[in-house]
Structure formats: C-alpha cells, structure tokens
Structure 1
Amino acid sequence: MATNFRVDGVHWQAGSELHITVCYVGEVSDKDVDRLRSSLGRISIAPFRVAVKGMGVFDSEGGAVHLWAGLQPRAELEALHTLVKRQVEALGINIAHFRYQPHITLARLASSAAGSVDDFLESNRDLCTRSFEVSEIGLFRSIPGKFKSIYHCLDTFPLSGTCR
C-alpha cells in the first residue's frame, strides 16, 4: 500500500510505522508497560489472515483527524481486540472506550485537508489488497507530534494457539 499520494494537509505515516491498531490504551507508566508486556505474552489466539478493504477518517470536534485503511474480515481482529482489552482491564489500566474499528492509521490530517481528503476517499473507496497474515501483536508507544504521531514498537508477541 503506497503512502506517497499528494493530498494537501495530509501528513503520511512512515511505512515503518504502519501497524494494525488492536486496542488503544493511552498513556501508561513505565511500570504498567512492564505489566502489559507480561500480560500480552499470555494471549492465546491462532495467526489469521486479513486484507485492507476501504478507507475512512476518524473525526473529532474539529473535523477529521486521522485517515485510515479498513481491514476485513473483522471477526478475528475483534476477537483479538476483546482478548487484549480484557488483559489490559484485568491489570486495572483504564482504556479509552471507543467502538472498535479494525484499521491501519495512514495519516494525520490538518484542518485544511477536508476537501482534498473527501476527493481522495472517493477515488479510493474500493481499495482492496491481497490478504496477509497477522502472526504477532506489538506493544507500541505513540508520541504525538505537530503533524503526525511517531510510533515506537516496544515489544512483539507471536500469536499461537487457538481462538478462545
């Protein structure tokens, strides 16, 4: 998936920063990061396949803020989301309660991007890729910047086992 499209007011994520968001946790202490590492390593779910299908934006009060690519099928990602969410909540860590939308964040949008993003979404609404395997989950730290977030992978955990 290319992220070198020219769209005014769009700040693309670097290819190395693209990842599937399974569960957004928010700010946590270093102690909680260590607890998350231990907990996420115990998740048991078999690897599965997904494909990019469609695009959209996440809105805030000020308008669209993030451009994303959707993922299908949703069932396995939703099961993984539920497992991760339960592990995080069992640690007593509060998480944001958004309706889960399986996605890959592609870009952050400036307020001036509205019209050009609408055209971009329309011209890419049928975006679809070949399926690819999801074989591990990662624990990421997100550092918000003026134009985009910077993501650092803190640890990865291979998926193995069966769906429960």
Structure 2
Amino acid sequence: MRVFVGIMLPEALWGAVAALQAELGCGRPVAEEALHLTLAYLGEVDLPELETLHEGVSALPVVPFEVVLAGLDVIEGGERARALVLKLRPSPALEALQAKLVQAARRAGLELERRRFRPHVTIARFNRGLTEAQAARLGHLLESRGDVVLPAWRVGGFALIRSHLGREGAEYEVLAEYPESAPLPQGQAK
C-alpha cells in the first residue's frame, strides 16, 4: 500500500487556505480534509514492514511544538508548474521529528529517497501546463499574496497515512495516529 507519515492541517486553517485557493481560481484545489504536511514519504509498503515501522514510531516521544505556514511557492516538474504550496517557517522541532521518523523508517527496512526536507502544504495542483491566463492568475497571486502568513498551529502528534489514488486526486486514510507523549512523573527521565 502507498503510505506516508504526515500531519493533517487543522480545521482552524481550512478557511484561510480556501480563500487562497479561490483567489487563485485555477488548477485543482486540494480538498480541505486532504491538506497535510508530509514528514516522510514511504511509497509502496508491505504489511510486515508497516507493522515494524508502527512499532518503531510508536516508541518515539512526541513533544508538542508550533509551526507557521508562511509564504507561497510553486513546485515545478520539468519545465512546468506542478503545484502551489504554502511553505513553513523554519522549525528545529519539526526538522528533528522528521529526522527521527526517517531513521525509524530505515530501521524498519524501508528504503527512502535521499532528498532534503522542504516542509510545505500543497494547496493546488496543476496537471497539465498552465494556459497563459492561468499563469497570469498564478503570477498575480504570488505577487499579491506570496508573503502570506497563517496563524501558528500547535502540532501535537503525527499520523501514518495511506494514499488512495483516484481520478479526482488522492484520498487519504489515517492508519494510525501518534499523539503527543504523556509527561512523565517528576523525577523520571526518558
């Protein structure tokens, strides 16, 4: 099955994203319930590997932290725009969590692509090249709202998510959630 580890965008931010999508007015907007931040794309994974991964990430301590979506960017593939994304402000806590998840995936026997972590939330996809009018709309949005900053949100965990690909795009199924760790009684260390 096709899976990744990620953080679903909280409902409190859906309206702000929908406003950006409406202002863009082209491409295929990502549905509110599908907005997410990918921490580690795992690809096609068999059940035994998935169970080993689950055991490994279940043991990871999750300390809550805040992240901020700030700035729009375009992800390109080849010579065309593929997606409009919201970038994240640098977050050492997010980067540390992502690194731990990648290590856990490798310990579970998964082979991951080696690429730099560039955290973002995709808000619209462009399946084919943009028409001149669509490119102008995208350019206008980047110029007028490219420095957008959404309210900070508290990350209190992450999820193991299965991706089902369909004609209308991907649908996501949360297979397991990993909430923040309960604080230890005073005097006990991890």
> When the two structures are superposed, what TM-score results if normalisation uses the length of structure 1?
0.86
Residue by residue over 1:52-81, the C-alpha shift from the partner in whole angstroms, topping out at 9 and shown as x without a partner, is 101112222252222211112321111111
For the pair 1:36 / 2:57, whether they are aligned, the reply is no
- SS of 2:102's equivalent in the other structure is helix
Residue in 1 aligned with 2:170?
149
Corresponding letter in the other structure for 2:141? F
Aligned positions of 1:16-31 closer than 5 A: 16-31=33-48
Distance 1:30 1:105 in 2: 28
Matched pairs, number: 163
2:159 to 126, 138, 161: 138
Residue in 2 aligned with 1:2?
17
- SS of 2:123's equivalent in the other structure is strand
For the pair 1:94 / 2:115, whether they are aligned, the reply is no
Corresponding letter in the other structure for 1:118? G
For the pair 1:106 / 2:127, whether they are aligned, the reply is no
Distance 2:142 2:174 in 1: 29
Residue in 1 aligned with 2:80?
63
- SS of 1:98's equivalent in the other structure is coil
Corresponding letter in the other structure for 1:59? E
Structure 1 residue 20 displacement after superposition: 1.6
Corresponding letter in the other structure for 1:46? V
Kept after mapping to 2: 8 A contact 1:43/1:159:
no
Distance 2:26 2:169 in 1: 11
Measured on the aligned residues, the alpha-carbon RMSD in Å equals 2.3
> When the two structures are superposed, what TM-score results if normalisation uses the length of structure 2?
0.76
Residue in 2 aligned with 1:72?
89
Taking only the aligned residue pairs, the percentage that are identical comes to 26
Corresponding letter in the other structure for 2:75? F
From the CA coordinates, give the structure whose radius of gyration is larger: 2
Structure 1 residue 41 displacement after superposition: 0.9
Structure 1 residue 2 displacement after superposition: 2.7
Q: From the superposition, tell whether residues 149 and 57 of structure 1 become closer, same or farther in structure 2 (CA, over 3 Å).
A: farther
Residue by residue over 1:64-115, the C-alpha shift from the partner in whole angstroms, topping out at 9 and shown as x without a partner, is 2222111123211111110000000111101122211111121221223361
Kept after mapping to 2: 8 A contact 1:108/1:148:
no
- SS of 1:80's equivalent in the other structure is helix
Kept after mapping to 2: 8 A contact 1:9/1:112:
no
Gaps (5+ residues) in structure 1?
none
Distance 1:48 1:85 in 2: 19
Larger fraction in helix: 2
For the pair 1:118 / 2:139, whether they are aligned, the reply is yes
